[in-house]
Amino acid sequence: MLNPFLAQQGGAIETPQIDYAAILPILIVLGAACVGVLLEAFLPKHQRWPVQVGLTLLTIVAAGVALGAYVGDAPEQGITTLSGTVAVDAPALFLWGTLLALALGAVLLIADRSVEPGGAFVAQAGISPGTVQDRAQVSSTGMQTEVFPLTLFALGGMMTFTAANDLLTMFIALEVLSLPLYLMCGLARRRRLISQEAAVKYFLLGAFASAFFLYGIAMLYGYAGSVRLADIAAATAGTDRSDTLLFAGFGLLMVGLLFKGSVGPFHTWTPDVYQGAPTPITAFMAACTKVAAFGALLRVLFVAFESTSWEWRGVLWAVAIISMAVGAILGLTQTDVKRMIAYSSIAHAGFLLVGTMAITDEGLSGTLFYLLAYGFTTLAAFGVISLVRDASGEATHLSAWAGLSKRSPLLAAVFTFLLLALAGIPLTSGFVGKFVVFSAALSDGMAPLVVIALVFSAVAAFFYLRVVVLMYFSEPAPEGPTVSVPGAFTTAAITLGVVVTLLLGVLPAFALDWAGAGGFALSS
Amino acid sequence: MLIAIAAHFAVAAMLPLAARRCGRAAFAIGALVPAGSLALALTYLPGVLRGTPHGESVHWAERIGLLFTVRLDALAMLMTLLVTGVGAVVLCYFGRYADRDEPGHGRQAGLMVAFAGAMLGLVLADDVLSLYVYWEITTIASFLLVGGAGRDEESRRSAKQALVVTVFGGLALLLGLIVLAVAAGTFRLSGILADPPDGAAVTAAVALLLVGVATKSAQVPFHPWLPAAMVAPTPVSAYLHAAAMVKAGVYLAARLAPAFADRPVFWVPLVVLGLWTMVLGGFRALRQHDLKLLLAFGTVSQLGFLLVLVAVGTYTAALAGAAMLLAHGLFKSTLFLTAGAVDKGTGTRDIRELSGLGRQWPQLATLAGLAAASMAGLPPLLGFVGKEAALKAFLHATPKDVAVLCGITAGSVFTVAYTLRFLVGAFGTRPGAAPSRAKPPGAVFTAAIAVPALAGLVVGPGVGWLAPLAAGYAEALPGAHDYHLALWHGLTPPLLLSVLVLATGYAVYRAGRAVAVVSGRVPEPLRAQRGYDTAVSGLIRLAHGGTGRIQTGSLPVYLAVILLTVVAAPGTMLLLRGLPAIEAPWSRSWLQLPLAAIVLAAAGAVLRARRRLTAVLLTGMIGYGVGGLFLVRGAIDLALAQFLVETLTLVVFVLVLRRLPPPFARPGRERTGGQARSGQPALRRAEWRKALVAALGGTFVAVLATAYSAGRERLPPASAWYVDNAKPEAGATNVVNAILVDFRALDTIGEITVLLVAATGAASLALGAGRARRRTMPRPGRDERTEVRR
């Protein structure tokens, strides 16, 4: 924001400095999203899919290249730009890289048209579910290609979200990332009612969460007289102001952030939405939204609320325990694979919160690493889920997965590996992630919480292994699902996820070094 | 030695491919790996005996202190001999045991080799993390081996139980190891043990480690998984019991003993549980009819014995522990392989059906007899040497030693009894029963059984070769170094005790039937298996109940969860800190009262509205009412904006409502028709609950707003500046006007543009969509609509 004193007293309006090189990745993504909307308006229908896919993939690669070019000579302490509203520092760069890589995988899944002929998305979103037209669109080959610009908008919002250095920017980024997601949830080609129900639920609950977030910002502004994270930190550090306004604002702000990160007890939307949304979108949401939400949470806690950590830690302890308990225990009884992974994501959100609460360098790098590891694993898991199908679409009921290893040993092996990674078995990225997060929490004096987290890891491992047992040790159902031969896109996405999961498990040093490259930029 | 560990995993990965070509020979190929590792380990033996451990290390992830380190000292050497030696023998045996036509040889051979590799890594590992990694690999490998092809419910359940129990222990172990490593400041096991840290955290860590030890080594109350795991193929059981998996717990206890045996938190639980397990296992073994189950309970018993020996932490006990560790590995593998041969040859393992096998298979019976003699503690076998040393170690007149001595004596009596039961059951001739028909065991079986059996026989008299190795481990422990392992110490109290044990054991065996009656009398709630079942089913019930309550799929419930959390968590915290005094007066103008009443009434009425249009109009009324409140307080600009937005929203709503049926669809109403109101108390209760939650949430937000907006500190500098400069700079008496059209005029243009774009978009959607629909597709016909509704 422009400081009115300077502007008026200096006589001329002083334009804020913009470090274009630093924010180039965001600019590329958002710019391409706008181009995508235009393409949608002006291209004939049959040309849209190839052009949109090409544009989207190119955009993500170009943003990645721009990021890579910037990382090479980025200042170590990070910079803030756009008059301090956006901070481009080591965690932001790491999260951007993570988001771009995950989005690449998700876009590959979204673009796939071989598994479900025509793609997982509805051909014409305006048709009512269950009508003759709807049955006709199921077998048609077109798809609503607006998904691609929407994905890019959401991605741009996520990248801004993780780099936002003041709460208003963060709120706008939150909306930019959320609105496209609400829409995309309702675009499934099959089972459209449940998909639309998911979209409505996500939207309504998300609107409430956003409202709380905004209310929290207002309170914090009232407390600190500024929405900048650094100013809030300065206000908490050395004043005798009444803390109540601060904590009311903090609590409401957390509601918004924890909702996006699907942390229990703000998780209620997660299973329904994960189940209803088209699987590629679920993959995108599960991987990228989690990264964005926890990236922002880390920044808020580290930059603005570090000095008051003793005051709020109790509440977040409770939240983390609830999240782990809900995810691990309710996950046990799920009979739907997508819902099961949803509960796993709730449990993982609890584990992530354990690392986030450790306001130390190890906590930061551990949580960042965990996000990277979890994102790729869950992305590949949803990719695999999209392959197991029967006549009515994806066969997500667990009974359909019985004896899958006999029909498709490779698929069963890949899924087993991913489940083991989610359970945190050694030699997968999940183990290293859990290890760094828990050890950071331990050294920050949260041993009881780590004990609880370990217990829930054990409970959660039980339900992952239940699926493994089911796939390997059961007789396949006589009219079970078939395993589609994935097209190049889905294969690439799953391979990406599996390879990264394995690499991070066996050789985590590189990613850990990058995750620990530096802290948040504190200057405003 | 790292290369040996790596070779295990590499070969394990390739065996499934090899098995496609050469079938059962895959097991023989696999056996080469542990055999080669044994040879490699023996080359380091002279150095180890001189007291200089061999070490290697390679980095994995240096940043977080993950690296693979091996350290081959006396204890590790002892375990390595057992793991690789028994591994090679069992794999050879497995090659013959597996059915030629059955698929899955590659899988089982690969898993066995991986299992051996993990176990080798476990005993050699010198940093706590790779120790944990290997520990978990053994868990998973044994899960897959026990589950086998998972054809039947029983094997799946057993495999799962083994997994759940040992993974739980593994996590406790991990936590204990990390706490210990953090306290000691190093992740090197040798470093931690050389300078053991102190403090409350370390005590807790040791307790956690013991949970890992007890689960892995099947101690009470975690023991039921081990007998349940008997559904595994016999060679797997043999390896599991003799050298791998369950020995991991004993190994870890032995490894930690030099540093921690002087602390009560270490030795008390291990000794108590160990003795209990030893007696209970022996007792239960007397009731079994299945040869494998009999041996399994025997293993449970022997593991308790071993843990007592290593946990006590004296020189003599440690010597005995080392000798018994090796002896148990040798005799237990022999006996299991024998049970497998009996099973293969006759098709049964039930001692009530076997008869006359000893006459048909004299060689095998002799070999099994040797192993059984070692188990019972008969000279001149290694088991005797170990048991002598164990009895000697506790021949002191302290209460602790007397209690332990009584315990192990009782356990040994049962050991003798069930040994006899096994031997007679497998090879004896029952009067009046037809001799079992048995195929000859074949050379491979006999050879594989002979190797460990004869090793036990040779090492007994030749215990002098073993003694330096055992002493190399025991040296680190306190106590007089006056005892040495030997077959003959003269007529000493331990020898007399041994004779007494043998005699009593024989008597107990003869009184077997009475024992069987007594041992059925364990109170139901105290049974460990029941405890496990209750824990698992309780968890699942909790999950079912929780899902049913929380995850109903109903949006109001979800929202209620979020609202209640918001009210409960931050709300309580804030209430505890005390609400600030609300300084604002209740009302500033009488006009506020009717306006507030209108807003509240409209809000209440929305909930009761049954037609969509009514609801929309009432919502609009709330908005206009709030706008009126703004107006009363003099915020004309806010009021105008509010009126504008309300009007726009109303118009958009009406455009949309044209396409929707007028009344709301209400759950339950359609089905029961007109009587719904009074006929559904449950529904009405649910509505009351919703109303309550909504009121709570609304009150919270409102109180927050009134209470804390007064708490803000001061006018922000920007506001002050605007107030000061409105008149001189912009010539305006209304500050808000000055801001909107002068100071921030560009922002205002931007806002107007956004509003216009949004309105245009909404209008074109509302108007254009209808046209497009009419153009491209016919409306659904009457039949389809009804179909949809159904």
Q: What is chain B's mean pLDDT, rounded?
A: 83
Higher pLDDT, B738 or B771: B738
**Per-residue pLDDT reduced to its tens digit, A25-51:** 999 999 999 999 999 989 998 889 999
Put simply, the answer to whether A223 touches B712 (Cβ < 8 Å) is: yes
Count helices and strands (H / E) in chain A. Answer: 23, 5
Question: Which 3-state string (H, E, C) describes A147-204?
Answer: HHHHHHHHHHHHHHHHHECEHHHHHHHHHHHHHHHHHHHCCECCCHHHHHHHHHHHHH
Task: Look at B47 and B147; give whichever has higher pLDDT.
Answer: B47
Quote the pLDDT of residue B65: 66
Q: Tell me which range, A327-331, A388-392, B223-227, is most confidently predicted by mean pLDDT.
A: A327-331
Task: Please list the residues that pair with B290 across neighbouring strands.
Answer: B350
Q: Answer whether residue A488 shows pLDDT above 50.
A: yes
Burial class (CB in 10 A: 0-12, 13-18, 19+), A410: exposed
Measured in whole angstroms, the distance separating CA B456 from the mean position of its chain's CA atoms is 37
Domain-located, residue A3: no
User: A141: closest CA among A165, A161, A159, A123?
Assistant: A123
Residues of A in contact with B550 (CB under 8 A): 268, 326, 330
pLDDT in tens, A181-226: 999 999 988 888 899 999 999 999 999 999 999 999 988 888 888 8
3-state secondary structure B725-787: HHHHHHCCCCHHHHHHHHHCHHHHHHHHHHHHHHHHHHHHHHHHHHHHHHHHCCCCCHHHHHH
What are the angstrom distances between the C-alpha of B76 and each of A6, B80, B82, B120, B123? 74, 6, 10, 9, 6
Whether residue A523 is contained in a domain is answered as no
Q: Give the mean model confidence (pLDDT) for residues B281-290.
A: 86
Query: What local confidence, expressed as pLDDT, does residue A418 receive?
Result: 95
Judged against a pLDDT cut of 80, whether residue B686 lies above it is answered with: no
Which value does ipTM take for this structure?
0.83
Q: Contact A326/B546, CB-based, under 8 Å?
A: yes
- Report if residue A298 sits inside a domain: yes
Q: What is the pLDDT of residue B40?
A: 93
Single-letter amino acid code for the residue at B124: L
Q: Which of B386, B398, B372 is nearest to B325 (CA)?
A: B386
Does some domain include residue A7? no
More confident residue, B419 or B221: B419
The answer to whether residue A2 is domain-embedded is no
**Please, which contacts does A172-181 make with residues 24 or more away whose CB atoms are closer than 8 Å?**
A174/A210, A174/A213, A174/A256, A174/A260, A174/A296, A175/A210, A177/A153, A177/A289, A177/A292, A178/A154, A178/A206, A178/A210, A178/A260, A179/A153, A180/A150, A180/A151, A180/A153, A180/A154, A181/A154, A181/A281, A181/A285, A181/A289
Determine, for residues B562 and A222 on separate chains, whether the beta-carbon distance falls below 8 Å: no
Query: Encoding tokens for residue A472?
Result: 């390997």
CB contacts < 8 A, A to B, total 206
Q: Is A17 left (phi over 0), alpha (psi -120 to 50) or beta?
A: beta
Alpha helices in A279-428 (DSSP H): 279-284, 290-299, 309-325, 331, 337-357, 361-385, 404-407, 409-423
Please choose, from the candidates B565, B529, B536, B554, the residue with its C-alpha nearest in 3D space to the C-alpha of residue A329. B536
Instruction: Confirm or reject contact between A450 and chain B (CB < 8 A).
Output: yes
Q: Is A370 on the interface with B (CB under 8 A)?
A: no
Residue A317 contacts B, CB cutoff 8 Å: no
C-alpha distance across the termini of chain A, in Å: 12
Cβ neighbour number for residue B206 with a 10 Å cutoff: 20
Closest alpha carbon within chain A to B780: A131
Q: In whole angstroms, give the CA distance from residue A461 to residue A459.
A: 5
CB contact under 8 A, A245 and B711: yes
Q: Name the band, by pLDDT with cuts 50, 70 and 90, for residue A159.
A: very high
Tell me, what's the pLDDT at B680?
A: 54
CA distances from A263 to A254, A348, B543, B550, B675 (A): 10, 9, 18, 15, 42
Q: Are B122 and B251 in contact (CB under 8 A)?
A: yes
Domain residues for A471? Answer: 15-515
Query: Model confidence over A301-348: pLDDT tens digits?
Result: 999 998 888 888 888 999 999 999 999 988 888 889 999 999 999 999
A521 located within any domain: no
User: Hey, is the C-beta of B489 within 8 angstroms of any chain A C-beta?
Assistant: no
A81 Cβ contact partners less than 8 Å away, ≥ 6 residues apart: A17, A18, A19, A22, A23, A88
Question: Which A positions 235-254 lie with beta carbon below 8 A of chain B?
Answer: 241-245, 247-248, 250-252
Q: Which of residues 200-239 of A touch B (CB under 8 A)?
A: 200-201, 204-205, 208-209, 212, 215, 219, 221-223, 225-226
- Residue of B132, B551, B721 with shortest CB distance to A4: B721
pTM to 2 decimal places:
0.79
What CA–CA distance (Å, rounded) separates B528 from B398? 32
Domain count, chain A: 1
In b/e form, how buried is each residue of B168-187, taking b as 16+ CB within 10 angstroms?
bbbbbbbbbbbbbbbbbebb
Judged against a pLDDT cut of 60, whether residue B783 lies above it is answered with no
Q: What DSSP assignment string belongs to A443-500? A: HTT-HHHHHHHHHHHHHHHHHHHHHHHHHHHSPPPTT--EEPPP-HHHHHHHHHHHHH
Which chain B residues are Cβ-neighbours of A472 within 8 angstroms? Answer: 147, 150
Nearest to A219 among B559, B708, B718 (CB): B708
